[in-house]
Structure 1
Amino acid sequence: MFRKYKGELGLGLTAFIWGSGFIGVSISLSGGLTPLQILTIRFFIGAILLGVIFFKEIKNNITKESVIAGSMIGVFLFIAFVFQTIGISYTTASKNAFLTAINVVIVPFIGFILYKRPLDKYGIISSIIAILGIGILSLDVDFTINFGDFLTIICAFGFAFHIFFTGEFVKKHNPIVLTVVQFSVATVLSLIVQILFNEIKIEAQMSSIMGVLYLGVFSTTVAFLLQTVCQKDVSETKSAIILSLESVFGTILSVIILHEVLTIRMVIGCLVIFSAIIISETKLSFLKRDIKNKQKAESIK
């Protein structure tokens, strides 16, 4: 059973690590680092760590095509994070989280538009249900669209294209090479933006340094490598839906570690997202089986 679902389980673990990343970001920001500094440092740590640990494998498997592919998903990764980071300055954290999550719905349409792939009705239904769950989890009553929301929607497209093309490229190229290249590209682009925003000087407390180290090692190096490897065995649409569990894990860990108040709305939102995962994974086969059994029983009578 583990082998059959290893891709899904790996993406679930990725979502858990990303969910814990909300804690790391909170600690890093409270200790003096700016959002752009956090991005540059976390991607730099990821590129260096993987480059050192997997130097021989990278050397033996790197090709011109894999560098181009890795650079492409690196650009999408940068677009996603930088627009999310700037966007949150102009909107609420809850709306930022919700609008980022619409990448779940965008992913299947990328395949349909670019490659004429048929849309899986269960994938679309699951995606919409996941968005509904994240909305329940994140949104307040007011849902007006402002400049920050617009930037966050661009971020959602960035994540959607990143998830989609990661799934495409990992079938053809070494996942470690892809991950190192995308981190390197994201680091350079983040540093350029950091310079443009005049945020080169770093003044951070030890807690902030520990927070960004966690983000660099776990939320970036481990999580994105895990995502890249596991997406080889899981469709892009299903990957996006499973990765939406990030918001569930982020909520649970915020309650446990940051002592945020657990509300009925949080519980309902989490349950709705879990139901989306179940529908995506099973395609309601258990209901179909029950209907067939009833039909057989009635025909026998």
Structure 2
Amino acid sequence: MEKIKKQALFADLGLVAVAFVWGSGFVASKNALDSMSPMMLMTVRFAVASLLSGFIFRKNLKNLSKDTIKAGCVIGFFLFTAFAAQMIGLQYMLAGKQAFLTATNVIMVPFIYWAVKKHRPDQYNFVAAFIMLLGLALLTIDFSVGFSFNPGDALTLLCALLYACHIVVVGIYSKEHDPFALTVIQLGFAAIVSLAYVLLTGEFTLAIPIPGLINGLYLGIFCTFLAFLGQTVAQKYTNSTHAAIILSLEAVFGSLLSIMILGEDFTLMMFLGCLVIFMGILTAETKWSFLKTAFLKTKQDTPEKITEI
């Protein structure tokens, strides 16, 4: 029992670390974009991550079937397009604001799964969607000048939609294929397409300033490769609902770090929007099951306390 508790504790700490690293990725991306184009940054990030994952999981790449390669490429397509929309959108908006807008993908997933698998979302998903729309209005609309929705907002919501599609196809294909092989293939696909793009457009350059290169390497090593590996290992020792609560802190860390490191200024309305979206994320991911569990535990403990008196 003591061993299980220690494993659960280390799993929680690991997931907090993953959420923190993912949140810091918005800051690193914003800084890196001062030194290179969005697609060049993606080339560096995914090249580093794919080379590392390919080396670590090289045994999983033996005897790959055509179906596995195809599945990995489909997943890689959604990964590439989601990050492309995110990186381009980040040029027009605050990193902290983008952290929360990107996190709305968890609310979109059940509805995309509904469209693909005809599995209707429950009432919590519909409530979460309504909460998300309210939060988006508070976060993106500048009420002082009327309706204002900038390109960064639109691209980031497109990123959230594409990443939600990525989550759905990963869920489908990972049941049929080796998940580690799929990971290597999708990262490799994103790296190759990013490289092809910068070569064709003339954006490719090796003259990247040191600060930009450091941020790019940080994104590839920590925010992509190690974060994925940490999440995979940690979730062996905890349930998905508990993990979802902790990982949803990514948006919180992203906003806080953006304010602390980048000096971004959040208005009260934007803060309320972030808070509302976070409530929507918790509703969609956890269905408030942890409150139900706490209530039942309290109810069960009450008779014993009365008896003691």
**TM-score (structure 1 length as normaliser):** 0.76
**Mean Cα displacement is larger for which, 181-190 or 132-141?**
132-141
In the superposition, relative to structure 1, how do residues 169 and 88 fare at CA in structure 2: closer, same or farther (>3 Å)?
same
Farther-moved stretch of structure 1 (20-29 vs 210-219): 20-29
The 8 Å contact of residues 49 and 221 in structure 1, kept in 2 or not, is answered as: yes
Q: Distance in 1 between matches of 2:216 and 2:127?
A: 36
Relative to 1, partners in 2 of residues 1:59 and 1:15: Cα closer, same or farther, differing over 3 Å? same
Correspondence 1:174 to 2:175: no
Percent identity among equivalent residues?
A: 42
Q: Residues 181 and 164 (structure 1 numbering): CA distance in 2 closer, same or farther, change over 3 Å?
A: same
Corresponding residue of 1:43: 46
Alignment of 1:171-250 (within 5 A): 171-226=175-230, 244-250=248-254
Q: Distance in 2 between matches of 1:222 and 1:130?
A: 30
- Is 2:141–2:148's contact at 8 Å kept on the other side of the alignment? no
Aligned match of 1:297: none
Indicate conservation of the 8 Å contact 2:16/2:247, yes or no: yes
Match of 1:298 in 2: none
Structural mapping, 1:83-122, within 5 Å = 83-89=85-91, 91-93=92-94, 99-122=101-124
d(CA) in 1 for partners of 2:84, 2:11? 28
Task: Say whether the 8 Å CA contact 1:36–1:190 is kept in structure 2.
Answer: yes
Matches within 5 A, 1:120-135: 120-129=122-131, 132-133=134-135
User: C-alpha displacement at 1:206, in angstroms?
Assistant: 1.2
SS class of match (1:124)? helix
Cα offset, 1:150, TM superposition: 4.5
Aligned-residue offset at 1:238:
9.4
C-alpha separation between the residues in 2 aligned to 1:263 and 1:93?
A: 12
Q: CA deviation at 1:81?
A: 1.3
Moved more, 130-139 or 108-117: 130-139
Q: Taking structure 1 as reference, are residues 45 and 99 closer, same or farther at Cα in structure 2, changes over 3 Å only?
A: same
Write the letter of the residue equivalent to 1:144: S
SS in 1 for 2:33: helix
- Given residue 162 of structure 1, which amino acid in structure 2 is its aligned partner? H
- Residue 199 of structure 1 aligns with an amino acid whose one-letter code is E
CA–CA separation in structure 1 for the residues paired with 2:212 and 2:275: 33
> Partner letter of residue 39 of structure 2?
L
1:164 matched to 2:161? The reply is no
AA aligned opposite 1:154: L
| Corresponding residue of 1:296 | none
The amino acid of 2:93's aligned partner reads: T
Q: Answer yes or no: is 1:33 the counterpart of 2:36.
A: yes
2:148 — aligned with what?
Answer: 144
Change (3 A) 1:287 1:224: closer
**Aligned equivalents of 1:143 and 1:22: distance in 2?**
26
Of 250, 254, 259 in structure 2, the residue corresponding to residue 255 of structure 1 is 259
State the partner residue of 2:74: 72
1:150/1:273 CA distance change after superposition, 3 Å: closer
Report SS of the residue matched to 1:204.
coil
Task: Indicate whether 1:285 and 2:292 are aligned.
Answer: yes
Secondary structure at the residue paired with 1:173?
A: coil
- SS of the residue aligned with 2:106? helix
Change (3 A) 1:180 1:244: same
Partners of 1:71 and 1:246 in 2: CA distance: 27
Q: Which moved more, 1:256-265 or 1:71-80?
A: 256-265
- Corresponding residue for residue 18 of structure 1: 22
* Contact 1:108–1:124 (8 Å) recurs in 2: no
Deviation of residue 3 (structure 1)? Answer: 6.6
Compute the TM-score of the two structures, normalised by the length of structure 2: 0.74
Instruction: Extract unaligned runs of 5+ from structure 1.
Output: 294-301
What root-mean-square deviation, in Å, do the aligned CA atoms of Structure 1 and Structure 2 show?
Answer: 3.9
